[in-house]
């Protein structure tokens, strides 16, 4: 019953004072509680529904205004009795309609009701009584409260954010999940504050516009990012509706969902799709009936069917008739949850062409783990089959390499590990792969790895990086690392390959080498010569300190060819040719040249010598060379040569100058003897004879001296001389002496040798001449000429049976003008043996005598072969 209806009824009842029994019965039967009062408020009537509602029977004429119930306002405050709606109405005041109150029954139970009090006036308008009609609203109210509680429960238990936002952005309400999303520890942290502050800067304007739109009465949705109080960014999706607020304004009620994870999932799914689509392998999925359910781009390419053509078709579409029995077996294995790995088979393209494939088929499971289908990766191996052999070879090479070959990804995680790596580091492949490469790095070197990784990420290569790594057993290894970035087909760096060489041994060897080299250098630096070493190709790699002191070059400032810069231009070509010829032939080298002496600013003579140093196998490993300053020696030699030349010139001209007066003496003494010999006395004749003898001896002396000085004029012989011929010439010149003395001369067959024939002849002539001259008066002179080979020399021997030589003098006799006898005993100039000595010396030979007084002599001399 409406409030207006109740009022009309009240008026009707009041007008007849409910005396009409029909009406009374009707009112009594009404399910609405009705009572009446007099002007003082004392109850005059109540119906059965009123008793039922209030839970007591009021006393008529005693109880006032209401049925003496305790009445509360909806907020729970007790309403004073004389202020109950009926009492107020009877005072003539207007009672608002539709108010809701709570009444408490005597038993303590409560109910909700809406009073509809009305006053009854007489004709003059005086209040003569009142009627009140109580509508029981308990059920509705309870339903309302229940709904409200449920709503609260919902918004508090929903995982989504529920919020109410004022048109200006003030946050009026936010539930607990919402507080969690924005990182608020309590409602006070955000309620009453501006919600815009929580929106990510780039989305803030969009959100403000959205909020204002909702508050104008629209319903809408929006995705935006928030940045919570703790700074965490989240992606949100909101569904908002306008809500009429208690103050009459329209606000936004929004249910907002955190879609951060879903977004990431979306991205991951997108990425996965992209990967699947960009894969060169065909990736297909099928259900357990063998019906194709997905089909990537490569599958299109490989088999020639588009995704639209393939999806929904039986996978047997791809199987050549002869291999149809494969599919049931594969499906059976999949159903049992097994995986099929690298199954090599043949499939058919849309155009009928056959393909060699490697299939990897994995069961696909639902969230409960049940197999619901299969994913199938098909790789075209038509080409790989060819490449496979080289891949096998490569892997064999990697495994047989003495170097550890390791690959790792950009996080430093080991992804491959060859056999040498196992040997070198002591970890098996199974132990190493998947572990960080830092397990190999000693703690004090851990900072190396980030640097290496940084370089690799930049695409740089690390070459021959010498460092220390740790074996499984903790021992340290000296290794040399070469690390190269590994790139994918798109040239992006995805990891690194690492070649590690154990250099512990070579380090030891190098250390030993350095030590011996240091010793060598120390030694070399103390040498007065320039000492250098060169590589087998002749490139100089070391000079001692003496070189730098001499040249003024700074160490390492000049390269290998620095010696060329200070070499005398006239000597340069010859020296280079000699040097490189020696290097090429592997032969020792010996050459004289001039180097610029920086200190004296002049050229100095040096003799350069080099010898190859060979290893056990005979290969040249080094050249060792010296430059010896021979400038002084050279200068002395030059001086000596000049002095010799001067002396020769002097001897030559003086012998001629001596000859001039000698000739006059000889010729005029002869003239004197022939023209006046008969006219002078005997004594005068004897004097003339002395003059002539003296002149003759002087002539011999001058002649021999001339011969002696001319021996120094020496050029190497152009051809060999026959010693037999030289001997015969000598004997011819001695023919007179031989026949006069009756000497017997014998000779062995003699060789040819590289000397001037005239020199050999002079030696023979002097020695044989002496043998005859110094013959024993007691026996016939016998002279023998013999020869024997002594290594690189011929040793000649001229033996006689003459008077012999006292051993005391055997060294003296080769000196110039040395004579053992007076000219009365034996004529002679004392030059003959000096000439022999001088000739033999010229050929670097030796001459000596073996003799005893009275026993004959053997003169021996050596000449080159």
Partner 1 sequence: MVESKPFEILLAEDNPQDAELVRMALKEHRVDCALRVIPDGAQAITFLDTLDANPKSPALDLLLVDMNLPKRSGEDILKRLRSTEHYARTPVIVMSGLPAEAVEEKATRHAATVYFKKPLTLDEFMQLGSIVRNVLERKTRGAA
CA distances from 566 to 27, 129, 494, 558, 596 (A): 144, 145, 55, 12, 5
| Burial track 103-112 (b if 16+ CB lie within 10 A, e otherwise) | bbeeeeeebb
Q: Which is nearer to partner 1, 60 or 706 (CB)?
A: 706
Judged by CB under 8 A, the number of residues near partner 1 is 13
Least distance (Å) from partner 1 to the CB of residue 763? 22
Q: Which is nearer to partner 1, 662 or 768 (CB)?
A: 662
CB atoms within 10 A of CB 132: 27
Residue 576 CB burial class (10 angstroms; 0-12, 13-18, ≥19): middle
Q: Which is nearer to partner 1, 298 or 707 (CB)?
A: 707
Residue 146 CB burial class (10 angstroms; 0-12, 13-18, ≥19): exposed
Nearest to 855 by CA among 817, 808, 800, 809: 800
Q: Which is nearer to partner 1, 100 or 670 (CB)?
A: 670
Q: How far apart are CA 330 and CA 357, in angstroms?
A: 15
Q: How far apart are CA 530 and CA 664, in angstroms?
A: 62
Q: Which is nearer to partner 1, 492 or 667 (CB)?
A: 667
Nearest to 466 by CA among 477, 456, 480, 476: 480
Least distance (Å) from partner 1 to the CB of residue 739? 23
CA distances from 713 to 643, 646, 709, 726, 814 (A): 13, 12, 8, 19, 20
Least distance (Å) from partner 1 to the CB of residue 843? 25
Directed axis angle between helix 832-842 and helix 757-773, to 10°? 150
Site for partner 1 in 638-657 (CB under 8 A): 656
Least distance (Å) from partner 1 to the CB of residue 674? 7
Lay out the site mask for partner 1 across 656-695 (x = CB under 8 A, - = otherwise). Answer: x--xx-xxx-xxx-xx--x---------------------
Q: What residues have CB less than 8 Å from 741, skipping those under 6 apart?
A: 772, 775, 781
Q: What residues have CB less than 8 Å from 801, skipping those under 6 apart?
A: 775, 776, 779, 781, 782, 856
Least distance (Å) from partner 1 to the CB of residue 668? 7
How does DSSP classify residue 487? E
Least distance (Å) from partner 1 to the CB of residue 677? 13
Least distance (Å) from partner 1 to the CB of residue 666? 6
Least distance (Å) from partner 1 to the CB of residue 671? 6
CB atoms within 10 A of CB 305: 18
User: 420 and 405 in contact (C-beta within 8 Å)?
Assistant: yes
Q: Which residue has the tokens 């999806």?
A: 311
Least distance (Å) from partner 1 to the CB of residue 553? 53
Q: Work out whether strand 127-136 and strand 118-121 pair parallel, antiparallel, or are unpaired.
A: antiparallel
Q: Which is nearer to partner 1, 371 or 680 (CB)?
A: 680
576-580, long-range: CB < 8 A, 24+ apart: 579/538, 579/608, 579/610, 580/538
Pair of tokens at residue 560: 């290998």
Q: Which is nearer to partner 1, 158 or 659 (CB)?
A: 659
Lay out the site mask for partner 1 across 606-625 (x = CB under 8 A, - = otherwise). Answer: --------------------
Torsion on CA atoms 154, 155, 159, 160, rounded to nearest 10: 130
Q: Which is nearer to partner 1, 39 or 673 (CB)?
A: 673
Least distance (Å) from partner 1 to the CB of residue 712? 17
Site for partner 1 in 467-496 (CB under 8 A): none
Q: What is the largest CA-CA distance in the chain?
A: 236
Q: Which is nearer to partner 1, 189 or 665 (CB)?
A: 665
Q: Which is nearer to partner 1, 330 or 711 (CB)?
A: 711
Least distance (Å) from partner 1 to the CB of residue 699? 7
Q: Which is nearer to partner 1, 257 or 666 (CB)?
A: 666
Least distance (Å) from partner 1 to the CB of residue 713? 13
Q: Which is nearer to partner 1, 656 or 686 (CB)?
A: 656
Lay out the site mask for partner 1 across 690-719 (x = CB under 8 A, - = otherwise). Answer: ---------x--------------------
User: Which residues contact partner 1 (rule: CB under 8 A)?
Assistant: 656, 659-660, 662-664, 666-668, 670-671, 674, 699
């Amino acid at each position: 019953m409406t409030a207006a209806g109740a009022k009309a009824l009240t008026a009707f009842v009041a007008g007849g004072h409910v005396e009409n029994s029909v009406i009374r019965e009707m009112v009594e039967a009404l399910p609405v509680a009705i009572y009446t009062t007099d002007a003082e408020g004392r109850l005059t009537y109540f119906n059965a529904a009123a008793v039922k509602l209030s839970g007591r029977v009021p006393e008529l004429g005693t109880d006032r205004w209401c049925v003496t119930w305790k009445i509360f306002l909806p907020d729970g405050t007790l309403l004073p009795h004389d202020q109950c709606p009926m009492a107020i109405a009877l005072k003539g005041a207007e009672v608002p309609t539709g108010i809701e109150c709570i009444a408490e029954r005597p038993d303590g139970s409560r109910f909700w009701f809406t009073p509809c009090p009305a006053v009854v006036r007489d004709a003059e308008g005086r209040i003569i009584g009142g009627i009140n009609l109580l509508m029981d609203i308990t059920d509705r109210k309870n339903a309302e409260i229940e709904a409200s509680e449920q709503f609260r429960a919902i918004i508090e238990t929903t995982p989504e954010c529920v919020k109410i936002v004022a048109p200006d952005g003030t946050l009026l309400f936010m539930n607990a999940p919402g507080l969690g999303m924005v990182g608020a520890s309590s409602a006070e942290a955000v309620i009453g504050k501006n919600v815009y502050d929580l929106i990510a800067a780039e989305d803030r304007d969009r959100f403000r516009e959205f909020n204002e739109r909702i508050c104008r009465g629209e319903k809408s949705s929006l995705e935006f990012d928030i940045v919570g109080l703790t700074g965490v960014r989240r992606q949100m999706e909101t569904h908002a509706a306008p809500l009429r607020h208690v103050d009459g304004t329209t606000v936004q009620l929004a249910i907002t969902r955190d879609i951060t994870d879903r977004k990431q999932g979306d991205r991951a799914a997108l990425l996965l799709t992209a990967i699947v689509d960009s894969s060169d392998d065909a990736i297909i999925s099928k259900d357990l009936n063998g019906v194709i359910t997905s089909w990537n781009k490569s599958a299109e390419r490989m088999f020639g069917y588009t995704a639209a053509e393939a999806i929904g078709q039986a996978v047997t579409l791809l199987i050549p008739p002869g291999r149809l029995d494969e599919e049931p077996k594969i499906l059976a294995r999949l159903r049992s949850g097994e995986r099929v790995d690298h199954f090599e088979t043949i499939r058919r393209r849309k155009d009928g062409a056959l393909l060699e494939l490697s299939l990897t088929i994995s069961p696909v499971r639902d969230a409960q783990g049940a197999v619901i289908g299969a994913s199938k990766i098909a790789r075209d191996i038509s080409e790989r089959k060819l490449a496979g052999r080289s891949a096998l070879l490569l892997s064999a090479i990697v495994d047989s390499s003495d170097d550890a070959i390791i690959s790792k990804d950009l996080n430093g995680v080991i992804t491959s590990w060859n056999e040498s790596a196992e040997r070198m580091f002591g970890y098996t492949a199974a132990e190493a792969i998947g572990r960080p490469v830092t397990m190999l790095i000693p703690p004090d070197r851990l900072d190396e790895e980030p640097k290496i990784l940084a370089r690799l990420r930049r695409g740089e290569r690390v070459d021959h990086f010498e460092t220390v790594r740790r074996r499984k057993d903790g021992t340290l290894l000296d290794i040399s690392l070469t690390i190269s970035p590994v790139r994918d087909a798109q040239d992006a760096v995805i990891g690194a390959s690492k070649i590690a060489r154990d250099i512990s041994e070579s380090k030891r060897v190098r250390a030993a080498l350095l030590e011996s080299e240091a010793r060598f250098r120390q030694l070399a630096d103390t040498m007065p010569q320039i000492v250098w070493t060169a590589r087998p190709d002749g490139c100089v790699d070391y000079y001692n300190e003496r070189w730098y002191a001499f040249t003024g070059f700074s160490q390492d400032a000049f390269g290998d060819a620095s010696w060329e810069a200070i070499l005398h231009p006239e000597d340069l070509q010859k020296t280079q040719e000699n040097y490189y010829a020696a290097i090429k032939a592997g032969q020792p080298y010996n050459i004289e040249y001039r180097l610029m002496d920086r200190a004296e600013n002049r050229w100095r003579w040096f003799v350069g010598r080099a010898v190859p140093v060979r290893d056990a196998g005979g290969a040249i490993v080094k050249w060792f060379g010296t430059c010896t300053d021979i400038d002084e020696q050279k200068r002395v030699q030059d001086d000596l040569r000049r002095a010799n030349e001067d002396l020769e010139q002097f001897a030559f001209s003086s012998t001629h100058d001596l000859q001039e007066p000698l000739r006059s003496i000889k010729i005029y003494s002869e003239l004197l003897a022939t023209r006046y010999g008969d006219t002078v006395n005997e004594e005068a004749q004897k004097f003339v004879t002395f003059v002539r003898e003296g002149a003759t001896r002087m002539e011999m002396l001058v002649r021999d001296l001339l011969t002696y000085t001319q021996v120094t004029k020496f050029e190497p012989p152009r051809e060999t001389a026959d010693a037999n011929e030289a001997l015969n010439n000598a004997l011819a010149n001695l023919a007179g002496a031989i026949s006069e003395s009756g000497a017997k001369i014998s000779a062995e067959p003699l060789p040819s040798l590289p000397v001037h024939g005239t020199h050999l002849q002079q030696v023979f002539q002097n020695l044989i001449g002496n043998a005859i001259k110094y013959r024993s008066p007691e026996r016939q002179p016998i002279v023998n000429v013999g020869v024997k080979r002594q290594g690189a020399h011929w040793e000649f021997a001229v033996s006689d049976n003459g008077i012999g030589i006292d051993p005391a003098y055997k060294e003296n006799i080769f000196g110039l003008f040395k004579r053992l006898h007076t000219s009365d005993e034996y004529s002679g100039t004392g030059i003959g043996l000096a000439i022999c000595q001088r000739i033999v010396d010229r050929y670097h030979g030796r001459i000596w005598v073996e003799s005893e007084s009275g026993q004959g002599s053997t003169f021996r001399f050596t000449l080159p072969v």
